[in-house]
Structure 1
Amino acid sequence: MKSKVWAHRGASAYAPENTLEAFRLGAEQGADGVELDVQLSKDGQLVVIHDETIDRVSDGHGYVRDYTLEELKKFVFNKTHPEYADARIPTLGEVYDLLKPLGLEINVEIKTGIYFYPGIEEKLYLLEKEKGMQGKIIYSSFNHYSVMKMREYDPAARTGLLYADGFQDVPGYAAGLGADALHPVLYNLQYDGFLEACREKNLLLHVWTVDDEKYMKLLVKEGIDAIITNKPDVARKIVDNT
């Protein structure tokens, strides 16, 4: 089976990350899925944004959790790509509405590494049911408590464990928790026996964030399950021609 292409925060090399514009472009460039980040606004709405603050990506300042959804919608989230003059922060529901008809998978990263956002996991479960997205979502996080919490609401929830720095027997740890996948940063694949151990334990590998063509080709050759990239158009060509 060919490696899948997942657009990292959408086609974020070309459009403002984590916006409807970036997700739409990722789909147009042939992505099989998208990766996105979710946090809670002050009024408890699931909003799609990576940083805990809005400073890097918008014309506003401050913490996501200190603004209501209505207030967040007043800011323009085009700081990384000013040519998109009216990019706004989307709710997760808006992203689901956009992508569901296109059949794309969605990797929802739960951003509870700094703030735990009480109740976010239940909100995610309820929204997935409301939007009929069962089977299209995989939940990941650097906070593995959050990932496993999703299983409490839905034992069939697909889960992936994000990590950066390596630690001992990562595949054994993931399998012990009953995770479906590991989401390692690219350089963690170099450990001896890592790929073999993941396959032995039936763990999918979704690798981030890969924009260099040389490494895309290597991952396709190794049969990695998904390449998470800011350049889905580039990855699509490599996957299709390898």
Structure 2
Amino acid sequence: MTFILAHRGSAGTHPENTMEAFIAAEKAGADGIELDVQLTADGEIAVIHDLTVDRTTNGSGYVNEMTFSELSKLKANYHSLHFFKKSCRIPSLREVFLWLEGNNLLCNIELKNAVNPYKGMEEMVIALVNEFSLEKRVLISSFNHKSLVLCKEIDPVIETAPLYNEALYKPWDYAVSLGASGIHPKLKTISDQEILAAMDCGVAVRPYTVNKESDMKRLFAISCSAIITDFPGRAFRLREQY
């Protein structure tokens, strides 16, 4: 069965990377959620995609220059008011983990450390994973592939997967060289044949961002390991056909 990972939660219907989006993803039938983390000025692990708060909130400035208290006062649905009226906040990873204790969802954590390396991020994230005993339910991905190697050194149990947005030759071999057991390619960079070849080699394939029904159907038909989508409800309904 192809797993459904809700990209930044149910980001197609709710403000991305908010508890509201994660809760909606669970209700929509997702098998897991995907989220992004960065470090604040006071060392908290915040769940937010961009380096700045400008696009997704009513604030302005860099995440790593703000305290978590300052971040939590912002409206995380500010630019989504046309379809979501309820006020939303930027959550911490701890808050998400506390919520995960009440369900069985998987959690794909993307480390946003490709531009800003965030020294110590890997240790902090994995320490929190260990605190909540979520090693078997967490998957760490990043465009910073050196960071993924470090994650495996810190805790070999946690699954890792490199993110990439350009075509790679035999990406399954590359994943193995990193100690990773999965790959997260941009959908258009990988063919069905390559997906099947990777899975035959024991490497899971989870393309992003799969929002079109035609793409979902194609990937369900070949039993792709998982899809990362903004519309988990749509994916769940289509998967029932397979």
Query: Which band: TM-score by shorter chain?
Result: over 0.9
Structure 2: distance between partners of 1:90 and 1:157: 23
The question of 1:122 aligning with 2:123 is answered yes
Match of 1:34 in 2: 33
8 Å CA contact retained: 2:152, 2:179: no
The question of 1:49 aligning with 2:48 is answered yes
8 Å CA contact retained: 1:41, 1:47: yes
Shift of 1:185: 0.9
Shift of 1:169: 2.6
2:39 is aligned with what amino acid?
Answer: L
State the Cα deviation string for residues 76-115 of structure 1 (Å, max 9, x = none): 1103421343200000010111123111000000000110
RMSD: 1.2
Structure 2: distance between partners of 1:12 and 1:51: 14
Match of 1:215 in 2: 215
Show structure 1 runs of 5+ residues with no match.
Answer: none
2:90 is aligned with what amino acid?
Answer: I
Give the % identical residues: 37
**Residues 90 and 102 (structure 1), Cα distance of their counterparts in 2 relative to 1, 3 Å cut:** same
Structure 1: distance between partners of 2:117 and 2:9: 24
Structure 1: distance between partners of 2:28 and 2:169: 37
8 Å CA contact retained: 1:15, 1:84: no
**Residues 22 and 196 (structure 1), Cα distance of their counterparts in 2 relative to 1, 3 Å cut:** closer
Shift of 1:129: 1.2
Q: SS where residue 150 of structure 1 aligns? A: helix
Q: SS where residue 44 of structure 1 aligns? A: coil
Shift of 1:189: 2.0
Match of 1:202 in 2: 202
TM-score (norm 2): 0.96
The question of 1:109 aligning with 2:110 is answered yes
Structure 2: distance between partners of 1:49 and 1:138: 17
Match of 2:191 in 1: 190
Structure 2: distance between partners of 1:155 and 1:108: 16
Match of 1:165 in 2: 166
Structure 1: distance between partners of 2:30 and 2:118: 30
After superposing on structure 2, the runs of 4+ consecutive aligned residues of structure 1 that deviate more than 6 Å are none
Match of 2:225 in 1: 225
